[in-house]
Chains A and B, each alone.
Chain A
Amino acid sequence: MSDLRKSLVLHGGVLVLLFGLQFVLPAYHHGVVARVMVMASYAIGYNVLFGYTGLLSLGHAMFFAAGMYGMGLTVGVLGTAPALAFGVVAGALLAAVVGALALRTAGVAFMIVTLMFAQAGYLTILYFGTYTRGDEGFVIPQAQRVLGAVDLSDPANRYFAALALFALCLMVSLRLVHTSFGRVLIAIRENEERARMLGYNVFARKWAAVVISGTLSAAAGAFYGLLFGYAGASFAGVQYSIFPLLWVLLGGAGTVLGPLVGTLFMFYLIDLSSGVTSAYMLIAGVALVLLTLFAQQGLMGEVRARVWRWLP
């Protein structure tokens, strides 16, 4: 089997498995996996920038929140489908502006600039508390969560919508690594100056990566609001910028399946620990330190290094 075929079989198999799971999972885990798929889509968006382009953003929550609030604040006026589209476009535009500014810096400065922009975004949501209800957030009424004739508040429909979003993001990511554009992103990650001196417009490609990454993150945010019927400022906070970094590091940066594996693993780790302690962010903290110390490549990165060399 060619490497490409192996990869298609593997990723197709994962999607089929996720599709089949909905019929066997008990109600609680059914809900968790739906949530994981939406968050894994967010992580896939993050991975485009961090894993493939080598740019570490500490502010992706602003894109997630742009999608969530872009959808949530307009859904009452525009209707469900246009509001969803509005959220995604809002995230894409934000990413275009932030990318154009932040990419003038590199390394640590890029991390801090993205962190600051996201913090300004979070504070802006608090400042306009009249509309956003600040930290408390707002509920999206069930009547507005109907896409076409499909009621997304119904668990089965919700699972299916989450799977559709995840499958789309996974395919975008898988396609990306096989295009020459995606390969140039990897080249930029590996050696930016060499890529420039091969004649590639490095800035334009990094900017495009920020926009793609921000758009996928915004789509995840908009879907999250719609599927779970809630938008709140905490989704724009620092924690939600750290989460995708953690999930991607854990699952394996620069691997197509890494974001799903990392998100799933972390969700269940926190879920299991919640019986022991309410301080679940402790688990996240310990995981971050241990990952930086001992497992830079993450789970799927280790799999690629040891078993499946062809893993994209």
Chain B
Amino acid sequence: MDFGPYLFLATLEGAVGAAVLALTAVGLSLVFGVMRVVNVAHGEFFMLGAVLAWWVATTVGGHPALGFGVALLVAPVLVAGIAAAVDMTVLKRIEYDPERTIVATIGLLYILQQVTLMTYGPDARPVEPPFNARLALPWVEWAEGGLRMYWPWGLSTTSYKLAVIGAAVVVLLGVWALMARTRIGLLMRATQLDREMALAFGIPVERIYALVFGLGAGLAALGAVLVVPIQQAHYLMGADPLLLSFIVVIIGGLGSLPGTVLAAVLIGLSDGIISVFFSPTLAKILATLLVALVLVFRPRGLFGAQAV
């Protein structure tokens, strides 16, 4: 393949990654924005979403679309429920102290991961995509003085991958509408601005926190359900989404939703493109160093306005 079509393919692959990353990172960002805590177990909620999707899809059986459809609804809700329960039993009791929350969610990370290992096992298992038509893609080139369209060999994607991008856009618009247009979103924003004031106005802050923590985890799980037909479910799969979400949330400005989405697209795309051309390890080294240095020298993120 020539360079042009190759780059186009890499961009498409990157866009799928960016879509899933945006969902996961927005979940993390929401929790940080409203509750001012960092959830280190966020990647495990992602993993749990994928594993539960496999479990639901296998249990339901029948046509792949049926199993996947049920999983798409059930897995995120289950994960959100687990997260809300963790919030009420653990985080509430340590009063959302930022440092203790990190230690507790590290513990939670290992609990979720190891319980999955003990029950689901060490194997990676796929979920069949609901539809998977192969779509060849055209490319244009200069030939004998004019533009000519052709179909390079190997330049193709699947209908499912395009659907993932579409679904992510729809969900993100939904989150935005929830935050900006509904009463519950208003309560969340009020809690985010001033917790004490919100309490004084009779906003049920504790329930808002449980809801936000559940919603954040649910978004990660949703991203995982979407990705599991492309990338198999495995008990250690939470590490990369966690790291990438961290990077996105920090670069995008902690707690800023538009910044997070923008950074997710940028990083998801560049991750996809860079890892096609360079060693993924080198790319990750540079990305982690970048995050550390952004936090050191520009703690408000590259796009955000909120301080840490």
A touches B (Cβ under 8 A): yes
- List chain A positions with a Cβ less than 8 A from chain B: 56, 58, 101-102, 104-105, 107-109, 111-113, 116-117, 119-120, 123-124, 126-127, 242, 245, 249, 277, 279, 281-282, 284-293, 296
A282 to B118, CA, bound (A): 10
- A101 and B285 contact, CB distance less than 8 A: no
Tell whether B71 is near chain A: CB-to-CB under 8 Å: no
Asked whether, in the complex, the Cβ of B93 is within 8 Å of the Cβ of A245, the reply is no
Q: A288 near B38 (CB under 8 angstroms)? A: no
A241 to chain B, nearest CB (A): 10
- Give the Cβ gap from A84 to chain B, nearest Cβ, in Å: 28
- Bound-state CA distance A290–B243 (Å) is 25
| C-alpha spacing A116/B114, complex, angstroms | 23
Is B308 in contact with A284, judged by CB distance below 8 angstroms?
Answer: no
Q: Is the CB–CB distance between A284 and B288 below 8 Å? A: no
- Per DSSP, chain A at the interface is helix
B residues less than 8 Å from A287 (CB atoms)? 107
Contact of A288 among B103, B285, B308 (CB under 8 A): B103
Q: Are B110 and A282 in contact (CB under 8 A)?
A: yes
Which segment, of B94-102, B123-131, B140-148, B190-198, faces chain A?
B94-102
Alpha-carbon distance A126/B279, docked complex (angstroms): 11
Chain B positions within 8 Å of A112 at CB level: 38, 246, 250, 291-292, 295
Q: How many A-B contacts are there with CB distance less than 8 Å? A: 117
Query: In this assembly, does B229 line the interface, its C-beta being within 8 Å of a C-beta of chain A?
Result: no
Q: How far is the CA of A237 from the CA of B238 in the complex (A)?
A: 15
A107, A119, A120, A279: the one contacting B114 at CB < 8 Å is A279
Q: Assess the B291–A116 pair: CB atoms within 8 A.
A: yes
Smallest Cβ-Cβ distance to A279: which chain B residue? B114
Q: Is B104 close to A, CB under 8 A?
A: yes
Contact B104 A102 (CB under 8 A): no
Give CA–CA (A245, B40) in the complex, Å.
Answer: 15
Whether a CB of chain A sits under 8 angstroms from the CB of B226 is no
- State whether B107 touches A285 (Cβ < 8 A): yes
A104 and B296 contacting across the interface, CB-CB below 8 Å: yes
Chain B residues whose CB sits within 8 angstroms of the CB of A292 once the complex forms:
90, 94, 100, 103-104, 107
Measured CB to CB, the nearest residue on chain B to A245 is: B103
> A231 to nearest B CB, angstroms?
19
Question: A127 contacts B288, CB within 8 Å?
Answer: no
